[in-house]
Amino acid sequence: RALAAGEAGGRLFLATELIDGEDLATTVTRHGPLAPADACLAAYQACLALQHVHERGLVHRDVKPSNLM
């Protein structure tokens, strides 16, 4: 959920709620590579999320494992 948006120091920002849990990068670091089926599921879920924001006219611009919960 978005909590605030604005401009600070000439840069736009969007502040979102903190989601408790472990990101994908941490999971892979701790446990090693995902099984192929789990990797496909993670990619599929990320694609669904990106489609959701795209349909609302937004762009994420920083998709990476440490930003996937």
Task: Choose the catalytic residue: 20, 23, 38, 62.
Answer: 62
Q: Can you tell me the distance from the alpha carbon of 3 to that of 26, in angstroms, rounded to the nearest whole number?
A: 25
16 token code pair? 């979102």
Q: Establish whether 62 is a catalytic residue.
A: yes
Using CA atoms, how far apart are residues 26 and 32, in angstroms rounded to an integer?
10
Could you give the residue numbers annotated as active site? 62
